[in-house]
Amino acid sequence: MPAITGTTRFAGIIGDPVRHSRSPAIHNAAYAATGIDMVYLAFEVARGDAAAAIDAARRLGAVGLSVTMPHKADAAAAVDDLDDDAAALGAVNCVTIGADGRLRGSNTDGEGFLRGLDHDAAFDPAGRSCVVLGAGGAARAVIRALSGARAADVVVVNRSAPAAQAAAALGGRIGRVGSTAAVQTADLVVNATPLGMEGPAAGELPCPVEVLGPGQVVIDLVYHPLETPWLKAARDRGARGYNGVSMLVFQAAAAFERWTGRPAPVDVMIAAALQD
Ligand code: NAP
């Protein structure tokens, strides 16, 4: 890592919890690889304090902030300008602080998902049938991104119906609520629930594995562990399966590019994300 001096600028992530975040490793590796004089830190910020933290970052001359749970909606309310994705989703995961102190809020999850999908699977959603399992923040970004990428249809499968309905609406005329039966005929299946993640839901499956098979691309947005039981079963049954590391890295790459104006060193960032 290059020396930190009086000219070093900073960026960071605000969230709670945030100590487990891989973002500092990913961004600092990118600065080191490109020789950019910046550091990236994790800041544990309590619920309700996001606006104050963002204002503090602006006053301290930060370049930008990543925003994670539980602050994404509060960050959307705290910035001066919102890009289209952030406005539609009501959630900001990336704040860019201009030289004049103006705060621009973006949501780079959808862009990160599509870039990751292309990187991992060379999959173009245009004209394809897609199923998204879950209707939370990640699902909403993915649904909007798939709609923007001209998918033929996006079926949203979720435990609670009102959330499913609201998420499906983000898909516009191609979004609808459905059941796991839709998975069988889907070209792309995305798990955007925490089922399978390390912790209490580690052994749970977001949908029955019998409906997965050859010819499908299956993405599990979970990346702890790198292979969930559901992802393993999908691969075992002949589907092309990928985890959430690429979405994580490419949303970070999008932030890097907004903050520095330079292309992100994606391979270095992926290696950093995978390092223990
Ligand atoms: P969230 O906003 O809390 O949404 C969680 C979704 O999962 C909701 O639709 C919820 O259904 C559903 N769900 C939760 N527990 C469930 C259960 N026991 N049974 C059935 N459905 C359940 O979370 P999020 O931010 O969208 O994150 C979802 C997952 O994506 C997490 O594992 C997260 O780590 C991952 N993620 C990955 C990336 C990446 O870059 N790879 C980015 C963001 C998130 P209800 O609506 O019924 O509550």
CB of 158 shorter than 6 A to ligand 1: yes
- Distance, in Å, from the CA atom of 59 to the CA atom of 63, rounded to the nearest integer, reads 11
Catalytic, 72? Answer yes
Across 114-122, average pLDDT: 98
- Distance, in Å, from the CA atom of 259 to the CA atom of 276, rounded to the nearest integer, reads 26
Across the chain, the runs of DSSP E, i.e. the strands, are 9-15, 38-44, 64-67, 81-82, 94-97, 103-106, 129-133, 153-157, 175-177, 188-191, 217-220, 240-242
- Distance, in Å, from the CA atom of 219 to the CA atom of 125, rounded to the nearest integer, reads 13
CB of 137 shorter than 6 A to ligand 1: yes
pLDDT tens digits along 202-235:
999 999 999 999 999 999 999 999 999 999 999 9
- Residue linked to tokens 């930060």: 62
- Distance, in Å, from the CA atom of 257 to the CA atom of 65, rounded to the nearest integer, reads 13
pLDDT at residue 218, as a whole number: 98
pLDDT tens digits along 227-267:
999 999 999 999 999 999 999 999 999 999 999 999 999 99
pLDDT at residue 232, as a whole number: 98
pLDDT tens digits along 6-34:
999 999 999 999 999 999 999 999 999 99
Catalytic position from the list 22, 27, 72, 128: 72
Residue 120: pLDDT over 80: yes
Q: How far is the CA of 1 from the centre of ligand 1 (A)?
A: 34
pLDDT at residue 169, as a whole number: 97
pLDDT band at 276 (very low <50, low <70, confident <90, very high): confident
Say if CB 133 and CB 192 are below 8 A apart.
yes
Residue 147 to residues 142, 177, 232, 255, Cα–Cα distance (Å) = 9, 14, 28, 22
Residue 172: pLDDT over 80: yes
pLDDT tens digits along 76-111:
999 999 999 999 999 999 999 999 999 999 999 999
pLDDT at residue 2, as a whole number: 73
- Atom 41 (ligand 1): residue with closest C-alpha? 244
CB of 222 shorter than 6 A to ligand 1: yes
75, HSE (Cβ side, Cα atoms, 13 Å): 32
Across 163-174, average pLDDT: 97
DSSP three-state, residue 211 = helix
pLDDT tens digits along 58-81:
999 999 999 999 999 999 999 999
* In the chain, % of residues over pLDDT 90: 99
- Atom 30 (ligand 1): residue with closest C-alpha? 192
CB of 233 shorter than 6 A to ligand 1: no
Say if CB 46 and CB 23 are below 8 A apart.
no
- Distance, in Å, from the CA atom of 212 to the CA atom of 203, rounded to the nearest integer, reads 18
